[in-house]
């Protein structure tokens, strides 16, 4: 199996892919036309990328079977085009969670204590203890978390350790299970939500982002990018923030209205920590300007949330696991583009002898009846003498179909189950 790694990637990951028996082509600076050409030239089965865009034209250029996003999210990959071509898309969810949560709190603490301004003044030879002694502190403050996946949960753990209260909302259509709320700090191990404890009083789950903004002192965004989350944190949500509140975005720029945020910074003194920006440079080093950068009370970092050695090693190891599993079994861990729900209406269940020709006869008769098979599995009984085939199909077989199948060699019994 040939693997093209078209982005920066850890040495341990490259060595792991080779140890798994893969032929590895490492060209970390590929993008656009150069990546399209490389896919055609190498005939790679697997493409590994980080932030590089993967387009429909790239998929048509080669013979890809799997695209791995070495990181969380997959918005840089044309998933719809991959679905049409039967190309698996996988990612490495949760492997950067600790790194992003750490940066989130780095930005919160930096804003509260104005650490960058402290440092800059000292470097200019200016001492101003009176000014920089002004800070609220975050103990007892309410942290609003938008998005309660792996990263949101790691942020919640750290917030509880800082003695903060939590207000939580997750993505549209995603229910927050209170029993999953991480309250596993050492002094809290014996206490569970629902007990009426102090922890219970410190955690609130609400129904809308606006409710979170209205209740919190610090709003931290941890939402995946997608049609349902685009500009979820818009003007109506930002307007609910208290004057002087903080807003942190270490997720994706698509989920936040940056123009509305700039207005709130100027008019309400909202303090902001951003790791992501609209129109970020595609290269690692470039000139960059944005309306928010340079406004008072706004700190920005260079989209480095996942960029710790620990996170990158974990992502590399997960990428190796995905590719190795695919190579050895054909299964893809963390696959993101399989149908969530089958369109099959009925299940054809066939008990048969474990012998050649049975499956061929079943599918031949399905084709003759104009019936499409959506999924199939064949389970062998202990000893190998008999098996059960389950074929999920798109329509009710015609009268007499089951009896006609019994004419196939080795078939013992046939039944049809309605899946509706």
Give the residue from 272, 271, 278, 275 showing the smallest Cα distance to 308.
275
Both structure tokens of 318: 């997960």
Query: 189 in helix, strand or coil?
Result: coil
The C-alpha angle 91, 93, 95, rounded to 5 degrees, equals: 115
The runs of H, that is alpha helices, within 20-114 are 32-42, 56-61, 79-85, 97-113
Q: For strand 165-169 and strand 346-353, is the pairing parallel, antiparallel, or unpaired?
A: unpaired
Packing angle of the helix pair 309-329, 97-113 (nearest 10 deg) = 160
Distance between CA atoms of residues 325 and 20, nearest Å: 9
Compute and round to an integer the Cα radius of gyration of the chain.
27
Residue among 252, 271, 346, 352 flagged as catalytic:
252
Across 170-226, the runs of DSSP E, i.e. the strands, are 203-205, 218-221
Packing angle of the helix pair 11-19, 309-329 (nearest 10 deg) = 20
Residue 303: active-site member: yes
Residue among 37, 214, 239, 280 flagged as catalytic:
280
Contacts of 399 by beta carbon, 8 Å cutoff, 6+ apart: none
Residue among 303, 318, 346, 352 flagged as catalytic:
303
DSSP 77: B
Enzyme catalytic residues: 252, 280, 303
């Amino acid at each position: 199996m040939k693997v093209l790694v078209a982005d920066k990637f850890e040495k341990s990951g490259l060595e792991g892919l080779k140890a798994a028996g893969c032929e590895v082509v490492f060209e970390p600076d590929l993008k656009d036309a150069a990546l399209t050409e490389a896919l055609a030239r190498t005939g790679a089965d697997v493409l590994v990328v980080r932030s590089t865009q993967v387009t429909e034209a790239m998929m048509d250029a080669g013979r890809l079977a799997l695209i791995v996003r070495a990181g969380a999210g997959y918005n840089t990959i044309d998933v719809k085009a991959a679905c049409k071509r039967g190309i698996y898309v996988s990612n490495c969810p949760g492997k950067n969670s600790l790194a992003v949560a750490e940066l989130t709190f780095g930005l919160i603490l930096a804003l509260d204590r104005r650490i960058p301004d402290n440092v800059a003044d000292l470097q200019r030879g200016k001492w101003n203890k009176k000014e920089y002694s002004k800070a609220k502190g975050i103990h007892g403050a309410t942290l609003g978390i938008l998005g309660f996946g792996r990263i949101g949960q790691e942020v919640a753990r750290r917030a509880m350790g800082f003695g903060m209260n939590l207000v939580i909302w997750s993505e549209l259509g995603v229910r927050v299970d209170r029993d999953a709320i991480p309250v596993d700090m050492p002094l809290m191990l014996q206490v569970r939500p629902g007990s009426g404890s102090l922890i219970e009083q410190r955690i609130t789950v609400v129904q809308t982002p606006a409710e979170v903004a209205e209740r919190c002192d610090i709003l931290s965004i941890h939402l995946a990018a997608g049609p349902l989350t685009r500009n979820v944190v818009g003007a109506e949500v930002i307007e609910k923030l208290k004057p002087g509140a903080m807003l942190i975005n270490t997720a994706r720029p698509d989920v936040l209205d940056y123009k509305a945020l700039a207005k709130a910074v100027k008019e309400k003194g909202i303090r902001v920590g951003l790791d992501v920006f609209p129109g970020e440079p595609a290269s690692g080093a470039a000139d960059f300007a944005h309306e928010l950068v340079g406004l008072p009370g706004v700190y920005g970092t260079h989209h480095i949330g996942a960029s710790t050695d620990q996170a990158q090693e974990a992502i590399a190891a997960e990428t190796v696991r995905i590719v190795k599993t695919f190579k050895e079994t054909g299964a893809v861990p963390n696959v993101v583009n399989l149908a969530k729900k089958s369109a099959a209406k009925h299940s054809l269940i066939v008990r048969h002898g474990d012998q050649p020709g049975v499956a061929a006869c079943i599918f031949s008769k399905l084709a003759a009846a104009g019936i499409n098979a959506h999924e199939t599995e064949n389970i062998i009984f202990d000893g190998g003498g008999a098996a059960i085939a389950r074929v999920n199909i798109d329509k009710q077989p015609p009268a007499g179909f089951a009896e006609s199948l019994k004419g196939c060699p080795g078939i013992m019994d046939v039944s049809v189950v309605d899946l509706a």
